Amino acid sequence: MTRKKALIALGIAAALLIGLCLALSLRPGGVAAGRRIGVVEVRGFLADPQSAVDALRDLRKDEGIKAVVVRVESPGGLVAPSQEIHDELARTAAVKPVVVSMGVVAASGGYYLAAPATRIVADPGTATGSIGVILKFDEVHGLLDKLGVRTGVVKSGAMKDAGSPFRPMSTQEKAVFQGLVDDIFAQFVDAVARGRKMDRERVLALADGRVYSGRQAQKLGLVDELGGFWDAVARAQTLAGLSGEPELDYRGKKSGGLLRLILGEDSDALAPLHSVSAGPLRLEVPGW
């Protein structure tokens, strides 16, 4: 082989080696992947948990992800979605550090899902807490009476139309619904006590439904430290023992859609519209 051919072969080999290194650096578990921190965003009214649940599950299984930051911008929502994200976050926190970063509001269901995190970081002015359950019913029977409109119902059991807006709620129905609220409230309190490693009685004393600022929540033990998103990233980096500039790997982002294309993240302000057809039993802050 001539000297010229040898140099060409060496150049090709070097190019292949560089390409291989770049490919490895971009794949999960690759060279640069050793500094990756996963990011999951939970925004708006909590009605569909699948995107966040899938993202947390993927990040937990990805060996190249050393820590996870969950950004929460939510006033809460339905009970089961809040619990599903909570459970997946807890499973992930058992494997690698999970830091929750609270934005403008992370309350009720938004706080429920955050409770099992390794650390919770909130801005001083974040609206959080609101540990409680609310069950709302509309009543239109008074208006219908004035209009002379009557409704009839055929049902299989005494409670089948409980909560109907077309008649006053009975004492028995109120007792049944109160029992439902009390049971889910107990689940909420237990989740906070377990996740925050707090005495249950202490949590109960804080759980009258009120909203706390981030600074108040820190003093009460509901939040670990004050700061923004990048402070949460720095905390995750420290907990994972990473050095240098971490690479953020965003997962589970919302799909585009026309509104998000036009409004960007401001489209999240329309999240309350998603709750119109949702059920009445919720972990949310009314009005947010």
Catalytic residues: 108, 160
d(CA 210, CA 287): 13
Distance CA 32, CA 19 (A): 14
> How far is 111 from 206, CA to CA, in rounded Å?
13
The DSSP bridge partners found for residue 98 are 68
